[in-house]
Structure 1
Amino acid sequence: MIECLDTHREAFKSLVLQHLRGLPFDEWQRLRSFAADRSRYADKQDRADLAATPEQLIDAVLSESSISVAETLVPPFLKRTIEIGTIASQPVLYVTGHGIYLWGLEPKLGLTLSVWVTHPAYPPDW
């Protein structure tokens, strides 16, 4: 049974924010620089808030997807994935260098909470 992830959003946001605050400033800037490249946008109508703080970014871009954690973590991403915490006995993951945060209650079945630091642009190598 696939469960709605709404009850886990605040815990996910908290772990992502804690990790984001620990990133070196130059890494934050590098990842956010992708947001300025409109050619990488999933939706060309989107606009990037390049001045957004980590808190503002998370509030604006946190999304729930039907693409599972397992489907998202293709080999180039999987080898760069680290665990930054756990929620409901499942790991909260960060793809180092790509700015992707992921968590799913059932990682192989879908419904994933995610944040792309590069939003609205696709992450590097997407």
Structure 2
Amino acid sequence: MGLKPYIPKFKAIVLAHLQKMRNEEWAYFRGCARDLPAVAVDYAVESTETRESVLNGAVSLDSGPSVEETINASQRFSANATRIGEIDGQPLYYINGTGIYLWGPTPQSPATISFWATFPAYPPGW
């Protein structure tokens, strides 16, 4: 089984967290989306975007570094990783100050679901 069945739960937890996020923090991440180098150069950041619309358009199924590898990639990430929920017994993390949300079926699995509040740009410190 792939990761697709986990996307609705991932989105629900992330959206609940995004809706509690201070407006200033959200504005900072959307400013990064506009100003930092982009991974999706054909995506236009719109002033009408909502937290939910960005989330719905930017959830990513990844095959690369695991949750554990990503969090341990830098002191900044490991010091700021906060568990905001759980899916199938595995923590869903938010990395404070970066806008990164990350979950995997195991800590070492290279298959992950992620969302960057800075999409289409790389998160600060990436």
Q: What's the TM-score, normalizing by structure 2?
A: 0.91
For 1:18, give the aligned amino acid. A
For 1:24, give the aligned amino acid. R
Greater mean alpha carbon deviation, residues 67-76 or residues 40-49: 40-49
5+ long unaligned stretches in structure 1: none
Partner of 1:62: 59
1:71 Cα deviation from its structure 2 partner: 2.2
Alignment of 1:7-86 (within 5 A): 7-37=5-35, 39-67=36-64, 68-73=66-71, 74-75=73-74, 76-86=76-86
CA distance in 2 between partners of 1:54 and 1:61 (Å) = 11
Tell me if structure 2 keeps the 8 A contact 1:85–1:91. yes
For 2:120, give the aligned amino acid. P
> Identity over aligned residues, as a percent?
37
Q: What's the TM-score, normalizing by structure 1?
A: 0.91
Q: How many residues align?
A: 123
Tell me if structure 2 keeps the 8 A contact 1:103–1:113. yes
5+ long unaligned stretches in structure 2: none
**Structure 2 vs 1, CA of residues 33 and 117 (structure 1 numbering), >3 Å: closer, same or farther?**
same
Moved over 4 A (4+): none
CA distance in 1 between partners of 2:122 and 2:47 (Å) = 15
**Structure 2 vs 1, CA of residues 12 and 18 (structure 1 numbering), >3 Å: closer, same or farther?**
same
Tell me if structure 2 keeps the 8 A contact 1:35–1:50. no
CA RMSD, aligned part only?
Answer: 1.3
CA distance in 2 between partners of 1:30 and 1:23 (Å) = 11
CA distance in 2 between partners of 1:20 and 1:104 (Å) = 19
